[in-house]
Amino acid sequence: MAEIIKLNVETQDFFEGLLDGSADIARKYVAMARKGDLAKTDKGGRSDGNPVTLADTEIQQYIYDRLYGNEAKGINPSRFKDAGFLGEEENEILRPKNPSGNYPQLRFVVDPLDGTKPFTIGHNHWTVCNFALQQSDAEGKEWKTVISGAYSPEKDIAVLADNERVIVRSYGWFGDHRYHPLTELRPTPVHSAESGPDGQPPQLKGKHLDLRLVSHDKAQAELWQDLQQKGFTVRNAGPIAATFLEFLAGKPGEFSIIAGKPGGEWDWRAAEHFLTQAGFKAELVTYKGMDAKGKDYPAFIAAGDPQVFEYLKRRLGQTLERQKGQSAGAGSAVRVA
């Protein structure tokens, strides 16, 4: 693999521009949504039932133009012009090969607007330009995120991360418009829990564990009730990135996320990276053949304490197994990819 790309003066300036330009587009459309003028924002829905707005597609096109250039708009290609591109609104890799015909060693995985539903009704729980820049071997078989970012314009919080640091911008926190190391905001570890006996919830040290369910299907509804009975604080949440940025704005403490059945890599790749760099255990867990139709059930799980992560991973698997009608202690064990 080539030298790992990092945040430096050049790359940070480029990604800051992507975040800010995406936010400018979103602000234009959210003003229309708040006036109830959805006809000017709606672009119809995708096959999965999620809405698509003109903001989604315009932001994705903006990001694409900034990466690869657009002669008609007078935009020059960036240093990433040979990278691949996987964007949510096209649901495919738009540039699987670079101009030389070879598979690229870089690709962007982008969700231009995460949280379209709250966006369309004027709520503030959404983020723009949720991106993961990934680097690969020559065959493009193994991708690893090297830089990620997201921006919540309504909450005035932006985050960028490489494999060495996380930087955050918020005028409300720092009194300026510069990016600051996350350690200035949160110098202590994110976790505050100790694990209990195997199969039992962690000891809470006098405070509840804050679990956010980003999606809320039947399995998670049952898990919600079960964990509440065991002492967890369980809350509904919106998109992964917005939920994490909301956590940064809050008080230090335990914080966890479960997002069931994300629609594609754009739903979790960026969050996986900057959550991991911020000290979380975060990954996509696949429960083999465990959904209601016998298909795989993927879930993005993140927790400030690795032991809490393992506990939530196990509890969700047990819930899925129970819903498939397997009696306790019988049948096949939950298979996790």
CATH at 217: 3.40.190.80
Asked if 294 and 253 sit in the same domain, the reply is yes
Same domain for 222 and 169: no
Q: Are residues 138 and 265 in the same domain?
A: no
**Residue spans of beta strands (DSSP E) within the chain:** 42-45, 51-53, 84-87, 92-93, 106-114, 127-136, 143-152, 157-162, 166-169, 180-181, 210-213, 233-236, 255-260, 281-287, 297-303
Mark whether 214 and 181 lie in a shared domain: no
Farthest-apart Cα atoms in the chain, separation? 65
Sign of CA dihedral 185, 130, 124, 302: negative
* Residue 217 and residue 144 share a domain: no
| Number of structural domains in the chain | 2
Give me the pLDDT at residue 249, please.
Answer: 65
Domain boundary among 132, 151, 185: 185
State whether 131 and 216 are in the same domain.
Answer: no
Model's pTM, two decimal places? Answer: 0.85
Instruction: Identify whether residues 178 and 238 lie together within a single domain.
Output: no
Residue entry with tokens 């900057």: 274
Same domain, 240 and 176: no
Most confidently modeled of 15-24, 82-91, 166-175?
A: 15-24
Please report, for the domain that includes residue 41, its CATH number: 3.30.540.10
Q: Is residue 165 part of a domain?
A: yes
Confidence check: pLDDT of 45 > 70: no
Considering the domain architecture, whether residues 154 and 220 belong to the same structural domain is answered as no
In a domain, 79, yes or no: yes
Close Cβ partners of 275 (under 8 Å, ≥ 6 residues apart): 244, 257, 282, 302
Mark whether 248 and 111 lie in a shared domain. Answer: no
| Residue 3 forms part of a structural domain | no
For residue 336, tell me if it sits in a domain.
Answer: no
Same domain, yes or no, for 131 and 230?
no
∠ CA 214-220-223, nearest 5°, is 125
**Rounded to an integer, what distance in angstroms lies between the CA atom of residue 314 and that of residue 295?**
18
Q: What is the pLDDT of residue 316?
A: 92
Indicate whether 121 belongs to any domain. yes
Q: Grade residue 141 by pLDDT with cuts at 50, 70 and 90.
A: confident
Residue 295: HSE in the Cβ half-sphere, 13 Å Cα cutoff: 4
Same domain? For 166 and 219 the reply is: no
- Of the pLDDT bands very low, low, confident and very high (cuts 50, 70, 90), residue 327 is very low
In a domain, 204, yes or no: no
Dihedral of the CA atoms 239, 245, 251, 255 (nearest 10)?
A: 50
For residue 162, tell me if it sits in a domain: yes
Residue 248 placed within a domain: yes
* SS3 state of residue 92: strand
Q: What is the pLDDT of residues 212-254, one digit of tens each?
A: 888 778 888 888 888 888 777 888 888 888 888 877 766 545 6
Range of the domain at 93: 9-185
CA 70 to chain centroid: 28
Single-letter residue type at 177: H
Encoding tokens for residue 123?
Answer: 């709520």
Measure the CA–CA gap between 270 and 95, rounded to whole angstroms. Answer: 19
160 conformational bin, left if phi > 0, alpha if psi -120 to 50, beta if neither: beta
**151 compared with 1, residue with greater pLDDT:** 151
